[in-house]
Structure 1
Amino acid sequence: MSENQNLLAEQRRALILDEVRRRGGARVNELTRRLGVSDMTVRRDLDALARQGMVEKVHGGAVPVFEASTHEPGFEAKSGLELSAKEDIARAAAAFVAPGTAIALSGGTTTYALAHHLLDVADLTVVTNSVRVADVFHSAQQVSGLRADSATVVLTGGVRTPSDSLVGPVADQAIGSLHFDVLFLGVHGISAEAGLSTPNLAEAETNRRLVQSARRVVVVADHTKWGTVGLSSFAKLDEVDTLVTDAGLPAATRAEVSEQLRLVVAGEPEPAEAAAAAEDD
């Protein structure tokens, strides 16, 4: 596949990860032929994926890392992964937020990145079960002083998870009594079969309440989340309005997702926009 020679490293690694997961493993020589790159390039990519905990290197290739469906990484462990992708996604998702609206941000490192891009949006009401997200707005107001157009932040109570989200009956009751225009939802895993899932049973119920209370649901998830399945599913794909992801999502997966919901790839025009631009040319 010579057309893959000029792929960015991040896109190439996404293709490698997809191949390893789909086939249960891949050899270096197979990947070099498929991607049209050198053995050294593939080995460097496998090293990078292994450091991120995405694959396990074996003699001559790599196999997928199968985590228990109940394994829940902590916030700090996740915060160092896919940094550029999360920043791109956050920037693209921020365009969905209008001044004066009520939005919700779930827990997660991508919603945490998004919060930083919303500090200058006037007159927001932000509902969140993320301690980290609430701290972003609180810290900004402490530094700049309280402004008339600063965000009103509603932090639910609840029991704190390893990802610094607040979950459980207290959080569920608070969220169930509210209604917001847009929910920005970070996820542990997303797939066509399992929908949106998490390894934490209590978080699944809290996320379910968030989805039920939102007029629109926007999932913000980098390409590595596709194909991951946690212990508990809390929403089907047809309950999601939009998926905002990064350029690392393989073409075949993009086509699969686009059949069910609106797909926004950060940094790329949407199909309708691309078609309109082509007509103008």
Structure 2
Amino acid sequence: MRSSKSVDVRRQAIVTWINQHGHTQVEALAAQFNTSEVTIRKDLAALDAQGLIIRQFGGAVPAVANHSVPDALSPKTSNVISSLSHIGECAASLVKPGSKLVIDCGSTTSTILPFLSQIGGLVVMTNALATANYLTQCEKEPTVLMTGGTWDAQSQSFQGAMAEQLVNAYSFDIAFIGAAGIDVNRGTTTFNELTGVTRAMAQAASKVVVMASSKKLTHKMPNLELGWDTISVLITDEGISAQDKQNIEEQGVAVMIAALNGE
């Protein structure tokens, strides 16, 4: 049986390695530290939750706060990563132990995952295979449910009538939904006509939380996905204008700003 001391030593070494080498794949870390990929994924989940590294699907990068950013990441890219991470942290603040969640596919919704890793007793349904894989590696592994359905390569998720039917069979405390675009007057918008699962998730949840960067406010797409009347909370970054924030709040949606400075 491994001692907690040996686990701590390995994790400290992993942080040092990632800070020195930049983005590192799980497979490489497993080989470097002579352990399994499952163990490495749990290590990365724990280290991410502590803010020591930033976990990405397939590996990890140095935490932006460490100022040890991989050469391939420009300052602008680093700011984007940090901004999205803060949106994920803000979203996770709404989650209580034992909550029943449904998480839609998307890069922004996935930013909540590291912050869920230390919340116990969760039940999480998702249509994203990568999200399910991440959650099953958490130290406090939630009960994970997959929607099933037909695999859509564009969204990297399961879609279709079967997925919708399974979502409709459950009830959730919170649905975390992304947005390809946001229309201040209408709601979330998309080019993708596969909106059935997202709408089913919203209908099955007591609270619908949309996670989207402020740049999505400049993306107005033809297909309305969720109207503001179905959305409880919008979590975005400081780039949203005061006027847009007011317009959205006037439609009954709480707007939470995930500030980079933590204020």
Q: Distance in 1 between matches of 2:148 and 2:189?
A: 22
> What per-residue deviation string (whole Å, max 9, x for no partner) do you get for residues 198-218 of structure 1?
22212x111111111111101
CA RMSD, Structure 1 to Structure 2 (Å): 2.2
Of the two, which has the highest radius of gyration? 1
> Are positions 1:175 and 2:173 aligned together?
no
Q: Distance in 1 between the 2:168 and 2:218 partners?
A: 29
Moved over 6 A (4+): none
Which blocks of at least 5 consecutive residues in structure 1 are unaligned?
A: 1-78, 275-281
Cα offset for 1:132? 1.7
Compute the displacement of 1:234 (Å).
Answer: 2.3
Q: 1:160 to 1:230 in 2, by over 3 A?
A: farther
1:258 counterpart = 2:232: no
User: How far is the alpha carbon of 1:243 from its aligned partner?
Assistant: 0.5
> How far does residue 101 in structure 1 lie from its aligned partner after superposition?
1.1
Change (3 A) 1:259 1:194: closer
Structure 2 residue matching 1:139: 3-state secondary structure:
coil
Identity %: 28
SS where residue 174 of structure 2 aligns? strand
Mapping of residues 1-281 of structure 1, within 5 Å:
82-140=80-138, 144=139, 150-161=141-152, 162-202=154-194, 204-260=195-251, 261-267=253-259
CA distance in 1, matches of 2:156, 2:78: 15
The gaps in structure 2 that reach 5 residues or longer are: 1-76
Cα distance between partner residues in 1 of 2:78 and 2:172? 30
1:194, 1:229 within 8 Å by CA — same for their partners in 2? no
Instruction: State the secondary structure of the residue aligned to 1:123.
Output: coil
Distance (whole Å) between structure 2 residues aligned to residue 252 and residue 268 of structure 1: 20
Cα distance in 1, alignment partners of residues 171 and 179 from structure 2: 21
Normalization by structure 1: what TM-score?
A: 0.61
Q: How many residues align?
A: 184
Question: Which secondary structure does the structure 2 equivalent of 1:201 belong to?
Answer: coil
TM-score computed with the length of structure 2 as normaliser: 0.65
